[in-house]
Structure 1
């Protein structure tokens, strides 16, 4: 595991997450290496109860951003990860590919920011990730739409990777 130090995007903005039935905000943006990160301290993600509280903390700390702080609606975006959690719990018959890809990507940002190991990227995990990307942005693959079909092995890999993602996000944000 990497050394637990403070992490901060070079320039960021608040992003809301709906996770485990609660909504919280994180300070998100690209790091100096141009990879996405969230503000973290001592291996824990800094969370805020609202976009406004997140921006106020950023302003108080002198974090760089180009937000119009008077226009709160412009920075109140929220990503709902709970549909992926419902699938993992067996409460949904199919994985919502938007929530699945969002959970995977947010877990990567959290891992990178807290010094935790990244999610698996090789073999069937790479195939699963590519299918989730294709379902979300089919035009990147020169498709009008894409609905993933999963083999039994791929479903096992998806459950493992996304289960790991849930654990990573849960432990880093509590």
Structure 2
């Protein structure tokens, strides 16, 4: 059984809502099945809470995390300018942002039958450094702290993977035509 969750991103200067889906863990496969809702091979999105709720409804989905149109949009995952994080001093927060973006792009690629080309010894080493740099309590021993040091070639490799993710998303993103509106084109419910 797939569970559906709202996922807000900041991409190409816009805040968009996507629907992330994950299995309940009862499957027999070790294969990662996390993905984003697609329609016709494209990632569907909405620009408001109301529009995301309508999008989920049209696809027969109930979102596991309640979203209230009165409360507005949760803080979106910023996918613009991720490379700038690689120039900052490494922190738990920068590693968390990089890891979240990397995982999100992997799920997006899987959703549309593409690949980030992020496997292999060098990419795996970079991923592990980012992962352990989060210093999660369940992973990092008490009293210890891991702060990864990325070489210039590792920074380039991470930037390449993130850029591939953005390219895949840009080429496969579908703004929901049922709900998309601009100031020049009033929302259909107004």
TM-score with structure 2 length normalisation? 0.71
Long gaps (5+) in structure 2 = 175-190
Q: Is the aligned partner of 1:141 residue 2:121?
A: no
Kindly indicate whether the alpha-carbon contact (under 8 Å) linking 2:15 and 2:47 is maintained by their aligned counterparts in 1.
Answer: yes
Mapped to 2, the partners of 1:145 and 1:50 lie a distance apart of 39
Which one has the largest radius of gyration? 2
Q: Is the aligned partner of 1:21 residue 2:13?
A: yes
Alignment correspondent of 1:6? none
Mapped to 1, the partners of 2:108 and 2:6 lie a distance apart of 14
Mapped to 2, the partners of 1:35 and 1:62 lie a distance apart of 19
1:147-158 equivalence runs, <5 A: 147-158=147-158
Q: Is the aligned partner of 1:115 residue 2:107?
A: no
Alignment correspondent of 1:93? 87
Across the aligned residues of Structure 1 and Structure 2, the Cα RMSD in angstroms comes to 2.8
Mapped to 2, the partners of 1:121 and 1:72 lie a distance apart of 42
Mapped to 2, the partners of 1:98 and 1:47 lie a distance apart of 24
CA-CA distance at 1:31 after TM superposition: 4.2
Encode CA deviations 1:27-85: one digit per residue, 9 max, x unaligned. Answer: 11204766321101222100100233112221233214344455764983521222415
Mapped to 2, the partners of 1:77 and 1:30 lie a distance apart of 21
Distance 1:131 1:63, change over 3 A: same
Mapped to 2, the partners of 1:97 and 1:28 lie a distance apart of 21
Distance 1:161 1:70, change over 3 A: closer
Query: Aligned with 1:132: secondary structure?
Result: helix
Alignment correspondent of 1:5? none
Kindly indicate whether the alpha-carbon contact (under 8 Å) linking 2:133 and 2:147 is maintained by their aligned counterparts in 1.
Answer: yes
Kindly indicate whether the alpha-carbon contact (under 8 Å) linking 1:51 and 1:76 is maintained by their aligned counterparts in 2.
Answer: no
Distance 1:72 1:132, change over 3 A: farther
Distance 1:61 1:145, change over 3 A: same
Alignment correspondent of 2:188? none
Kindly indicate whether the alpha-carbon contact (under 8 Å) linking 2:116 and 2:164 is maintained by their aligned counterparts in 1.
Answer: no
Query: Aligned with 1:15: secondary structure?
Result: strand
Long gaps (5+) in structure 1 = 1-8
TM-score with structure 1 length normalisation? 0.77
CA-CA distance at 1:99 after TM superposition: 2.5
Kindly indicate whether the alpha-carbon contact (under 8 Å) linking 2:133 and 2:146 is maintained by their aligned counterparts in 1.
Answer: yes
